[in-house]
């Protein structure tokens, strides 16, 4: 007999929701019961967990009763509407939206970076933005040896960041354009197939979009360096599922390339991918479906003696969202921080 937990997934029918279901099974998370929650539009669908069919039900206060853990991936407005109700009913909520990330009362966690922050939760824990997670997993081990003074990041973001319907739209766009037909743009404002454009989230008065500011503000909070200099340009590219990032790091003194390479080879959640002779480095196709963030092309910044350049690719749906949330849940279990745990055997 061991501790197992009553888990609910809010937003179960989305791309991240499907990945959460798969990861709970794949990682053998101690689930005594699993409840799949979604909007009225998606209620009634049937999904499978450990070979058993589960019916998706509409989220409601009654549906949130007798739940120990809620993994939420249904958008900020939904999280704001239901997270506090879930906490009031006794659950801990790990939220994948941006609703609570910058709330000083809510821990913002990348388990490879700041796992101890999990002990400070008051019912809600925020999952960072996908691009922030991927960058932080790679930069943090270097920052531990020599604090980073400045980060300049350019992202190459896949359609999956906008959800399952966006991924399907890119496929439809590609087919339409190959047939000399106008491509549909229901999800994206412009065609993404055979194209790219700066991230289309709202711009602030300084000309930075919300996605870019998420990386700036979230990295400062996760690293606990409020004045860390970070500048980001986010671009949507015609890739289905995995984000890539070009990262420039500035330190207070030179950081040897071989030392950086050696550190990243040993870092949790990171896989070094470099074949200089073949000009072979991380690619989104090879990062898709993997837990690790692939990093490579580590080199000296020719413009600055204290600078390093690197390139990474990571699965936006897994480590950029669902896997990071499940890893946070595993921290809660490990540290016995989940309320309402039931003594039973895990569900088969």
Positions marked active-site = 130, 243
Q: Residue 256 in contact with residue 300, Cβ under 8 Å?
A: no
State both tokens at 265: 């080879």
DSSP 222-269: HHT-TT-EEEEEEEE-S-SS-EEEEEEEEESS---HHHHHHHHHTSTT
Q: Residue 312 in contact with residue 130, Cβ under 8 Å?
A: no
CA 103 to chain CA centroid, Å, is: 18
Burial of 53 (0-12, 13-18, 19+ CB in 10 A): exposed
Strands (E), the chain: 2-10, 31-38, 46-49, 52-55, 57-58, 69-72, 92-95, 124-126, 148-157, 197-198, 229-236, 243-251, 270-272, 293-300, 307-314, 342-344
């Amino acid at each position: 007999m061991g501790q197992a937990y009553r888990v609910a997934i809010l937003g179960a029918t989305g791309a991240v929701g499907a990945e959460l279901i798969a990861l709970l099974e794949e990682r053998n998370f101690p689930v005594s019961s699993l409840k799949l929650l979604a909007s009225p539009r998606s209620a009634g669908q049937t999904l499978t967990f450990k070979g058993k069919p589960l019916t998706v039900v509409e989220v409601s206060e009654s549906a949130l009763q007798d739940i120990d853990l809620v993994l939420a991936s249904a958008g900020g407005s939904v999280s704001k509407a239901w997270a506090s109700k879930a906490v009031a009913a006794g659950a801990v909520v790990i939220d994948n939206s941006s609703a609570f990330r910058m709330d000083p009362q809510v821990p913002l966690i990348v388990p490879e970076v700041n796992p101890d922050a999990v002990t400070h939760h008051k019912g809600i824990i925020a999952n960072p933005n996908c691009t922030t997670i991927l960058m932080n997993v790679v930069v943090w081990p270097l920052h531990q040896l020599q604090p980073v003074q400045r980060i300049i990041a350019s992202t190459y973001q896949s359609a999956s960041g906008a959800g399952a319907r966006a991924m399907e739209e890119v496929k439809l766009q590609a087919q339409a354009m190959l047939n000399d037909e106008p491509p549909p743009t229901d999800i994206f404002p412009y065609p993404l197939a055979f194209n790219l454009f700066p991230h289309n989230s709202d711009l602030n008065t300084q000309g930075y979009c919300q996605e870019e500011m998420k990386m700036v503000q979230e990295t400062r909070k996760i690293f606990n360096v409020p004045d860390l200099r970070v500048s980001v340009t986010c671009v949507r590219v015609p890739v289905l599922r995995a984000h890539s990032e070009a990262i420039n790091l500035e330190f207070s003194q030179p950081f040897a390339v071989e030392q950086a390479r050696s550190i990243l080879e040993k870092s949790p959640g990171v896989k070094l991918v470099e074949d200089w002779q073949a000009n072979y480095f991380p690619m989104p196709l090879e990062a898709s479906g993997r837990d690790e963030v692939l990093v490579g092309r580590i080199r000296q910044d020719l413009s600055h003696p204290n600078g390093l350049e690197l390139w990474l690719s990571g699965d936006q749906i897994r480590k950029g969202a669902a896997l990071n949330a499940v890893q946070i849940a595993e921290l809660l279990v490990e540290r016995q921080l989940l309320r309402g745990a039931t003594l039973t055997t895990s569900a088969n």
